[in-house]
Structure 1
Amino acid sequence: MARLRRFLDRIEPQFQKGGPYEKYFALYEMVDTFIYSPADVTRGSPHVRDAIDLKRVMSYVVVATFPVLLLMLWNTGFQANNAISQMGMTGLDGWRNWVMSTLGIAHDPNSVFANMFYGLLYFLPMYITTLVAGGIFEVIFAAVRNHEVNEGFLVSSMLYTLTLPPSTPLWMVALGIIFGVVLGKEVFGGTGKNFLNPALTGRAFLYFAYPAAMSGDAVWTAVDGYTGATPLALAASGGIDAVKEAGYSWSQTFLGVMPGSLGETSTLAILIGAAFLIYTRVANFRIILGVFLGMVATSLLFNLIGSDTNPMFSVPWYWHLTMGGLAFGMVFMATDPVSAAMTNKGRWIYGALIGFMAVMIRVVNPAFPEGIMLAILFGNIFAPLIDYFVVQANIKRRMKRS
């Protein structure tokens, strides 16, 4: 790294005003500030509890989602192309199918390129809609308050889009991110002052406002008229036996070859992103391990108790990890440095609370088998209280010492 720093310092004059590569200075600066902290970092603390440069945090989180994005594009296209192949549908309508036929790309589930391209045709409009709709309100609030527009929305927009089913209408995508940005963040003062994760706030709003479009067997595969339950929904109705009878193995759910929200299916890709975030110290490992241990302990407890009427009691912890959005929420949502706990001991408690609540909601509440979203929002609410008691306990312990 030191050798790279010396090299960048040596070539910098070539990109400055009057240098032969003056017009490429913006590109040089982007590379330089991505690797090293710039001279003028974000003014003040981008997060109330941490003075780390906001640009570094946000760019690293976006990089960590790249493995998820790649697997998401393939799986979204594969699920759709596979459904089209099974149903024998010909003469498909819609602009996406017009693009596919114009370019001569068949709906072939065995083609990696066809799957990824078809998946891109679903993801890209949703992500662009999120950027435009949410970005407009970010700019409006920044202009009214005379604040600078920061990179925080880039992460919120990416994570929000990845939590949505692929069949979500674009007007609904826009409405959800506007709700998350305005009522989940801006009304509290903007980046660093919100106590709820804005991406999850928008996603929760859509679930409660439009439950038919956010749940049910028809929303997970982007083909009109096709229904296919997710492994988590199958487990809620018939336990792991129902999941296996439907043709899903644990390795499939781990790799992400199953219907579900755009970016929440591949536990493998999510764990790759987690390793990067922990290595760069953008995400705190205590929260991730706390969620994992809380999930394992609670699922083992339910396995021990057992039930003759509720098949979710018997679901092992390793199936909980790979089904639904638990892994995605554990890595990318629970670790939000603004809405999470700030003390080290508090992070363990905060993570364990989320893991406990996620499994509790999945098992006890049959109407809502996916519990990680509500569990994280529940943890966000209690994070300040957890930190308060941890700090007070530290004060009392030090007073006794002295």
Structure 2
Amino acid sequence: MKAIRNFFEKTKPHVQKGGKYHWLHSTHDAFFTFAFVSKETSKSGTHIHDFIDLKRTMSIVVLALVPALLFGMYNVGYQHFGALGQLGTAGFWDMFLFGLLKVLPIVIVSYVVGLGIEFIFAQFRGHEVNEGFLVSGILIPLVMPVNTPLWMIAIAVAFSVIFGKEVFGGTGMNIWNPALVARAFLFFAYPGQMSGDAVWISASGVETMVDGFTGATPMAMAAAGNTDFNVWNAFIGLIPGSIGETSTVAILIGAVILLITGIGSWKIMLSTVLGGAAMGLLLNAFAGDNVYMALPFWQHLIIGGFAFGAIFMATDPVSAAQTEKGKWIYGFLIGIFAILIRVVNPAYPEGMMLAILLMNTFAPLIDHYVLEGNIKRRLKRAKVNA
């Protein structure tokens, strides 16, 4: 590591203003600060310094996503060999390596396109490279079906970075979660490829869909009036679905990492679950003959993207509510709208994406009224004590 640091220190003068490669200053700084803590400190004013900077925060989130990513790779292979009726002959590593070869190109395309655009914007503006895409670059593949063409991934990532972040000023200024912007773009631009209703396999080098498995995702089955799916498999994650959203167990491991490190907001996580449970119970009370409305509320929490959205998407520190009371309101409404959209709209069985994007939009308004309420209460107390 010392040799690498010496290399950065030696090349630093060449990328500073007046140097031969000054136009690479942002790129040089991005790689240096990712590997090492910067020596630069604030020159004026009063500041609290901490070794946990934005890059370290993002790195912890990426670490928390690794269990979902690894299980997603295994599940891709599991679904493939299961559709071919070869689960008895295929071993663990056969399934994992198959999934690795299918998922890794999506991750690479996401990072290459996203970071490429981030570097271009940083160089053009003369600013530091934003750290936010360290997380978005892995979140985007995890919310995609594995059969999504790489060119579609590239377009979605570019749209997300340019129109979801950079037009607002970059990391810290965006009003929507960039990964969900990419997912929403593909859903509305290419709805046929993003429905997630079919199990994807690759047989004899030809990628195809298996007709016998069409509509096999638990949510698609429930929306069609069939709730006869394996709940244990849904909890473990051995079901069709987007790459990183199937395993509630892997997602909960990530949640523990975020909570222990203090990176994720437990208030948003808990309130989202409470909101989803409340709406599920309310729908159960008025279900009648509607099978989807009668689905036990706790099953809603382990199918589709609910768990993944509650842990990794709703808790985005930039687009979520900032006030403590606002976080409870924000998360609770996400849970309510996610289940409501999922059940009431038969054309769109998954509502987590739209629910989070909707509440991203209203998060500033929630914080505004929370702050105004605090101010009014303090003024009232001041008048009483005067």
TM range (shorter): 0.7 to 0.9
Aligned CA-pair RMSD: 2.7
Among residues 208, 216, 229, which one is paired with 1:224 in the alignment? Answer: 208
* Counterpart-to-counterpart distance in 1, 2:336 and 2:238: 26
Q: Provide the identity percentage.
A: 51
Q: 2:316: which partner in 1?
A: 336
**Helix, strand or coil at the partner of 1:224:** strand
Segments of structure 2 that go 5 or more residues without pairing to the other structure are 9-32, 45-49
1:9-24 superposed matches below 5 A: 22=3
**Helix, strand or coil at the partner of 1:85:** coil
Q: 2:249: which partner in 1?
A: 268
Q: 1:194: which partner in 2?
A: 174
Question: Offset at 1:60?
Answer: 0.2
Structure 2 vs 1, CA of residues 43 and 275 (structure 1 numbering), >3 Å: closer, same or farther?
farther
Structure 2 vs 1, CA of residues 25 and 144 (structure 1 numbering), >3 Å: closer, same or farther?
closer
Question: Offset at 1:373?
Answer: 0.4
Question: Offset at 1:151?
Answer: 2.4
| 2:234 aligned partner, one-letter code | T
The TM-score, its normalising length taken from structure 1, stands at 0.81
1:3-402 superposed matches below 5 A: 22=3, 39-40=39-40, 53-85=53-85, 110-215=90-195, 217-218=197-198, 220-221=200-201, 223-227=207-211, 228=213, 229-238=216-225, 242-244=226-228, 248-308=229-289, 310-402=290-382
**Helix, strand or coil at the partner of 1:340:** coil
Query: Does the 8 A contact of 2:234 with 2:302 survive in 1?
Result: yes
Structure 2 vs 1, CA of residues 289 and 187 (structure 1 numbering), >3 Å: closer, same or farther?
same
**Dislocated runs of 4+, deviation >2 Å:** 22-27, 33-44, 107-110, 216-223
Relative to structure 2, which stretch is displaced further, 313-322 or 213-222?
A: 213-222
| 1:401 aligned partner, one-letter code | R
Structure 2 vs 1, CA of residues 287 and 216 (structure 1 numbering), >3 Å: closer, same or farther?
closer
Per-residue CA deviations over 1:56-88 (Å, capped at 9, x if unaligned) read: 2100000001111121111111101221336xx
Segments of structure 1 that go 5 or more residues without pairing to the other structure are 1-14, 17-21, 28-32, 45-49, 87-106
How many residue pairs match? The answer is 348
Query: Does the 8 A contact of 1:82 with 1:109 survive in 2?
Result: no
Structure 2 vs 1, CA of residues 226 and 26 (structure 1 numbering), >3 Å: closer, same or farther?
farther
Question: Offset at 1:251?
Answer: 1.1
The TM-score, its normalising length taken from structure 2, stands at 0.84
* Counterpart-to-counterpart distance in 2, 1:118 and 1:42: 49
Question: Offset at 1:400?
Answer: 0.7
Query: Does the 8 A contact of 1:324 with 1:370 survive in 2?
Result: yes
| 1:72 aligned partner, one-letter code | G
Query: Does the 8 A contact of 2:200 with 2:210 survive in 1?
Result: no
